[in-house]
Amino acid sequence: MELAAARTEKIEKIIAERRIVTVNELCGLIGASPATIRRDLLAIERKGQARRVHGGAVSPEGRLSEPLFDDKTSIAAGEKKRIAEAAMAFIKPRDTVFLDGGSTILALASRLQGMNDLTVVTNSLRVVMSLSGNGPQVILVGGEFRRLSQTFVGSLSGAILDKLRVDTAFMGTIGLSASTGLTTTDPREAYTKELVMNHAGKIILLADSTKIGKVSFVRFGNMDALDVIVTDSGAPVAELQRFRKKEIRVITC
């Protein structure tokens, strides 16, 4: 068994490299028990070298970068599943909904198979693939293909989006802060997200707790535009209270 100081130093390096890591992953990498890892994370958080979230820890960096899409799907997978299940309550028969390109949104899309009376508008290649077998009518928004997020973005996407209005837009984000709003890494992505939000009757943000209180590169909307935020129980309570003060409905699951 490693000495505590050496073990915490190794954990700090892992968090700095990966930005997001779960307790279970650290148990395998370090060879320590979950209880030991949690104590180490508490000590690391007190030093300001990480921020604990439900089931793990994230880098304390205020500005977020964007991991590869397939990497994102494995981060907080259980939380994303619960968020997607909660979001289903906002979908009614014969609705027209927009599904954004995030991994939490993809978890929602997988639950729509078989809902033949639904119309889904999306700029996400992964959402289209998820619904390619049967289920809703799907309208794919074109534009410039962004490989990192597997979405079609930019000014060309406006050719279709300007002509459409959806009942509900289910949006994802890289960062969400009461002071800064919604942020992402790419200006083209931000442009398309904001355009969608301008054409939606209701806007529901699906974001796991690793996004809450974080800020990325470019803003794509104010908090005032949101009707509902669905997140997990690991989200910072103080930040959620700020959202509620803005009269946004917040659901934790």
Residue with tokens 């979908």: 91
**Does a structural domain hold residue 63?**
no
Number of separate domains in the chain: 2
Rounded to 10 degrees, what is the CA torsion of 118, 119, 123, 127?
A: 30
Q: Which residues of 170-184 are buried (b: 16+ CB within 10 A; e: fewer)?
A: bbbbbbbbbebbbbb
CATH of the domain at 100: 3.40.50.1360
Six-digit token string for 189: 């992505």
Residue with tokens 């028969």: 93
**Residues 41, 144: one domain?**
no
**Does a structural domain hold residue 40?**
yes
Q: Does the structure show a pLDDT above 70 at 63?
A: no
**Does a structural domain hold residue 64?**
no
What are the distances in angstroms from CA 2 to CA 102, 134, 144? Answer: 38, 53, 50
What is the rounded CA–CA span in Å between residue 99 and residue 93? 16
Q: What percent of the chain has pLDDT over 90?
A: 65
- pLDDT, tens digit, for every residue of 100-155? 998 999 999 999 998 999 999 999 999 999 999 889 999 999 999 998 889 999 99
| Domain, as residue range, for 41 | 4-58
What is the rounded CA–CA span in Å between residue 213 and residue 92? 31
